[in-house]
C-alpha cells in the first residue's frame, strides 16, 4: 500500500496571495513545487516567450553556430544525425527546418534501432564520408559516442554535438566523479559541468531549438520565426518526459497553442488517424496518443516515416504515413501487453520479488519495447527495473532501465561499467548492452550495492493540502488552470479530505471500468467523484473493511456506513450546456 504525505513547504501565504493577486490555495501549490521567489512564481503562472533564457549562455553555442554558418555560406554538405524516438525526431525537424530556412545544403540520417542501436556510430560516420558530407550535427545523441566522434575527426569532417543526456563519467579510486566529453568541434549540452546555462532540463529538441535561435540571429533572420518550430519542440519535450518546469513550461504551453492551430499536413493527418480530430490536444494526448504513434515507427519499422510525415506537403502521402504509424502503434500495444505478462510471470515464479533492483532477461521481448515494459513493471512493483533481451550481436543482450525517484539508475549502473559493452542515459532512465554471461553478475552487484530501504521501496502519495469538498468552486478550478501544462515535475494539484460518507456508487462504461461515487459534504450537499482504478479491488477492500452488506447498500443507494479518505483533483463537468463541479479520485483509503 502507498504511504500518504502532506506537503507543507513554509511560506507567507498572505503575502504571496496579496502580491500576485492569487488565492492562498494557488500560493500553497506554488510553494509545494519548490517555487519560493515571487519573480519565479509570476514566471510559473505566466510562462511567456520573453522569459526564455539567452541561448548564447550555453557552452560552445556560439562556437557551434559559427561553424554551421560557415558551412552554410560555403555550400558545404551538412548531415543531421538524430535519434529514433519522438525527441530525436523533433530535434531533427527543428534543425532541418532551421538550417533549410538559412539556405543550408542539409539532409538527415536516423540510426536504425535494431541494426545500429542508439545514436551516431562508426557506420554512419563512414557513410557520411563516402557521401561527401563536410559537417555532421548530432541531436538528442552524441555525448557518449566517443569512437564515432574520433573517427569523424580522423576522416577530416567537422562535427557538432547537440545533446541533453548525462555526461559520461567514471569513478576514480577515491570515489570521485570524472567527466569525459567527446572531442567534437563543439559540444552543446546544458548538462556539461562547465556549462553555465541556467536551465539544465531541456530535451534534445529544446537544445536544437536554442541552436537554431542563435543561427537565425547570426544569419539575420528574425528570431521570432524560430517560434514556428515550437510545435515540434513541444512534442519532444512532453514525450521525452522531462520536467515541465522552467523553460519547458514555456515551450510546451506555446507549442500546444501552435499544435492546436497547426497547418502541418502530417500532424493534422496523425491527429485524425488517432481519433483526436476536433479535440483539444494537451500534454496527455501528446504523451499517450500522438507520441507513441510517432515512436512506433522507430520501434517496429523505420523512424524516417515519422519525420517524413511531418515534412511532407502532400496530403495523400500524409494520410498514408499517419495510418501506417497508427497501425504500428496498435501492434506495439499488443506486443507490450504480451511482454509485461512474461516479465510478471518471471518476477512471481523466479524469486525476483525479493530483489531491490529488478534485472530481468526475457528473450521473447522485442528490444524496441524493453523501455516501455521496464517503465510499466517499475510502476507496478515500485522497483528500479532493467529489462533485457537478445541483441543482434552474438552473445550480447541489451535493454533499458527505468527507475524510481529514490534511485539514480545512471549513477548506479555507472559503477558496473566493467560488465557492460554499451551504456548511456540519465538518473531515471538508461540503455545498456552486455555479454550474456554478465547478466547474473550485474543483477547481484546492483542489488548488493543498492542502499534502498523498505521505506524507499514503498510508493508515496504527496498531497498538496487538505481541502474540504465544500470549499470547491468554479473560480478555484479555473484558477488552477494557471498551473497548466501538467506533467512530470509539475503534476496536477492533489488535494485530500478525510472520512467522507459515500451516498451511492455506480459502475459506468461498457466494461464497468469507471466508478462514480456520490459523496456527502459537511454542508449536507453532495458532489460526484470519478475513479478509474481497479474497481474489483475497490469492492474487495470495501467488503473487508465494512462488510459485503454495506457495499451492497452503497450500490443500491441505501443508508450505509462506508467512509473514505480520498486524494483528488477538482474538475468541471460540462454536458449538454450544463456545468457542475466534480472530483477525480486518484487514491482512496
Position 543 in a domain: yes
Q: State which residues form the domain around 510.
A: 460-588
Nearest to 46 by CA among 426, 482, 468, 375: 482
Query: Does residue 117 share a domain with residue 94?
Result: yes
pLDDT computed for residue 23 by the predictor: 96
Q: What CATH number is given to the structural domain containing 554?
A: 2.40.50.460
Position 25 in a domain: no
Q: What CATH number is given to the structural domain containing 94?
A: 3.90.1640.30
pLDDT computed for residue 439 by the predictor: 97
pLDDT computed for residue 169 by the predictor: 81
Last-in-domain residue among 395, 427, 449: 449
Position 173 in a domain: yes
Position 404 in a domain: yes
Query: Does residue 62 share a domain with residue 210?
Result: yes
Q: Are strands 420-425 and 429-435 parallel, antiparallel or unpaired?
A: antiparallel
Last-in-domain residue among 207, 224, 241: 224
Rounded distance, CA 350 to CA 353, Å? 8
pLDDT (tens digit per residue) in 437-474: 999 999 999 999 999 999 999 999 999 999 999 999 99
Query: Does residue 396 share a domain with residue 434?
Result: yes
Position 557 in a domain: yes
107 touches 79 (CB < 8 A):
yes
Query: Does residue 469 share a domain with residue 573?
Result: yes
C-alpha cell of residue 514: 469507471
Q: Is 459 left (phi over 0), alpha (psi -120 to 50) or beta?
A: beta
Query: Does residue 560 share a domain with residue 427?
Result: no
Query: Does residue 482 share a domain with residue 437?
Result: no
385 touches 391 (CB < 8 A):
no
Share of the chain above pLDDT 70, in %: 100
Query: Does residue 471 share a domain with residue 393?
Result: no
pLDDT computed for residue 424 by the predictor: 82
pLDDT computed for residue 231 by the predictor: 97
158 touches 135 (CB < 8 A):
yes
163 touches 207 (CB < 8 A):
yes
> Can you spell out the DSSP letters for 55-110?
GGGSTTHHHHHHHHHHHHHTT-EEEEE--SSHHHHHHHHHHHHHHHHTT-EEEEE-
Q: How many CB atoms lie within 10 A of CB 131?
A: 11
Length of the chain: 589
Last-in-domain residue among 416, 449, 482: 449
User: What are the backbone angles phi and psi of residue 426, rounded to the nearest 5°?
Assistant: -150, -170
pLDDT computed for residue 296 by the predictor: 86
Query: Does residue 551 share a domain with residue 408?
Result: no
Q: What CATH number is given to the structural domain containing 377?
A: 3.10.310.30
Position 253 in a domain: no
Q: Are strands 429-435 and 396-402 parallel, antiparallel or unpaired?
A: antiparallel
Residues of the chain predicted below pLDDT 50: none
Write the burial class of residue 105 (CB in 10 Å: 0-12 exposed, 13-18 middle, 19+ buried): middle
Query: Does residue 470 share a domain with residue 439?
Result: no
Q: Are strands 429-435 and 460-463 parallel, antiparallel or unpaired?
A: unpaired
Position 270 in a domain: no
Query: Does residue 180 share a domain with residue 216?
Result: yes
Query: Does residue 584 share a domain with residue 509?
Result: yes
Q: How many CA atoms lie within 13 A of 124 on its CB side?
A: 28
pLDDT computed for residue 299 by the predictor: 80
Nearest to 267 by CA among 228, 319, 227, 302: 319
Which residue has 562508426 as its cell numbers? 122
Query: Does residue 498 share a domain with residue 464?
Result: yes
Domains held by the chain: number = 3
pLDDT (tens digit per residue) in 505-515: 999 988 888 99
Amino acid at each position: 500500500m502507498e504511504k500518504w504525505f502532506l506537503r507543507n513547504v513554509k511560506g507567507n501565504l498572505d503575502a504571496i496571495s496579496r502580491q500576485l493577486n492569487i488565492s492562498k490555495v494557488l500560493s500553497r501549490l506554488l510553494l509545494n513545487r519548490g517555487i519560493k521567489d515571487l519573480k519565479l512564481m509570476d514566471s510559473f503562472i505566466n510562462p511567456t516567450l520573453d522569459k526564455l533564457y539567452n541561448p548564447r549562455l550555453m557552452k560552445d553555442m556560439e562556437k557551434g553556430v559559427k561553424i554551421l554558418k560557415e558551412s552554410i555560406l560555403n555550400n558545404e554538405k551538412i548531415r543531421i544525425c538524430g535519434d529514433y524516438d519522438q525527441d530525436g525526431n523533433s530535434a531533427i525537424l527543428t534543425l532541418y527546418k532551421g538550417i533549410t530556412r538559412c539556405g543550408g545544403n542539409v539532409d538527415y540520417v536516423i540510426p536504425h534501432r535494431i541494426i545500429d542501436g542508439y545514436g551516431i556510430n562508426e557506420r554512419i560516420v563512414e557513410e557520411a564520408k563516402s557521401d561527401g558530407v563536410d559537417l555532421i550535427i548530432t541531436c538528442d545523441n552524441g555525448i557518449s559516442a566517443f569512437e564515432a566522434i574520433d573517427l569523424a575527426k580522423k576522416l577530416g569532417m567537422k562535427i557538432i554535438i547537440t545533446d541533453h543526456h548525462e555526461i559520461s563519467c567514471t569513478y576514480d579510486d577515491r570515489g570521485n566523479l570524472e567527466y569525459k566529453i567527446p572531442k567534437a568541434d563543439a559540444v552543446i549540452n546544458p548538462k556539461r559541468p562547465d556549462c553555465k546555462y541556467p536551465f539544465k532540463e531541456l530535451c534534445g529538441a529544446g537544445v536544437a531549438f536554442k541552436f537554431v535561435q542563435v543561427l537565425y540571429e547570426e544569419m539575420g533572420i528574425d528570431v521570432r520565426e524560430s517560434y514556428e518550430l515550437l510545435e515540434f519542440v513541444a512534442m519532444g519535450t512532453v514525450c521525452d518526459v522531462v520536467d515541465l518546469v522552467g523553460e519547458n513550461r514555456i515551450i510546451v504551453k506555446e507549442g500546444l497553442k501552435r499544435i492546436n492551430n497547426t497547418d502541418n499536413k502530417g500532424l493534422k493527418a496523425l491527429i485524425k488517424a488517432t481519433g483526436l480530430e476536433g479535440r483539444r490536444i494537451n500534454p496527455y494526448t501528446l504523451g499517450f496518443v500522438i507520441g507513441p504513434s510517432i515512436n512506433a515507427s522507430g520501434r517496429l519499422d523505420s523512424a524516417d516515416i515519422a519525420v517524413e510525415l511531418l515534412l511532407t506537403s502532400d496530403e495523400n502521402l500524409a494520410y498514408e504515413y499517419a495510418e501506417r504509424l497508427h497501425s504500428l502503434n496498435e501492434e506495439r500495444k499488443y506486443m507490450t501487453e504480451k511482454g509485461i505478462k512474461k516479465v510478471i510471470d518471471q518476477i512471481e515464479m523466479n524469486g525476483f520479488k525479493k530483489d531491490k533492483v529488478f534485472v530481468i532477461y526475457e528473450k521473447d521481448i522485442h528490444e524496441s519495447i524493453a523501455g516501455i515494459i521496464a517503465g510499466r513493471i517499475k510502476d507496478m512493483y515500485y522497483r528500479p527495473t532493467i529489462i533485457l533481451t537478445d541483441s543482434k550481436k552474438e552473445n550480447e543482450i541489451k535493454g533499458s532501465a527505468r527507475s524510481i525517484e529514490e534511485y539514480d539508475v545512471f549513477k548506479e549502473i555507472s559503477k558496473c561499467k566493467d560488465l557492460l559493452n554499451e551504456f548511456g542515459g540519465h538518473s531515471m532512465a538508461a540503455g545498456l548492452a552486455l555479454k550474456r554471461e554478465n547478466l547474473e553478475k550485474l543483477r547481484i552487484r546492483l542489488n548488493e550495492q543498492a542502499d534502498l530501504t523498505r521505506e524507499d521501496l514503498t510508493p508515496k502519495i504527496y498531497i498538496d493540502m487538505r481541502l474540504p469538498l465544500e470549499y470547491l468552486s468554479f473560480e478555484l478550478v479555473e484558477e488552477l488552470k494557471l498551473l497548466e501544462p501538467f506533467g512530470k515535475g509539475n503534476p496536477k494539484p492533489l488535494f485530500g479530505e478525510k472520512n467522507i460518507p459515500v451516498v451511492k456508487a455506480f459502475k459506468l462504461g461498457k466494461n464497468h471500468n469507471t466508478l462514480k461515487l456520490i459523496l456527502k459534504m459537511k454542508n449536507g450537499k453532495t458532489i460526484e467523484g470519478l475513479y478509474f482504478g481497479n474497481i474489483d479491488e475497490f469492492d474487495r477492500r470495501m467488503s473487508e473493511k465494512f462488510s459485503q452488506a454495506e457495499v451492497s447498500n452503497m450500490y443500491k443507494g441505501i443508508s450505509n456506513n462506508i467512509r473514505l479518505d480520498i486524494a483528488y483533483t477538482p474538475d468541471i463537468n460540462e454536458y449538454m450546456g450544463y456545468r457542475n463541479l466534480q472530483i477525480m479520485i486518484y487514491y482512496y483509503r
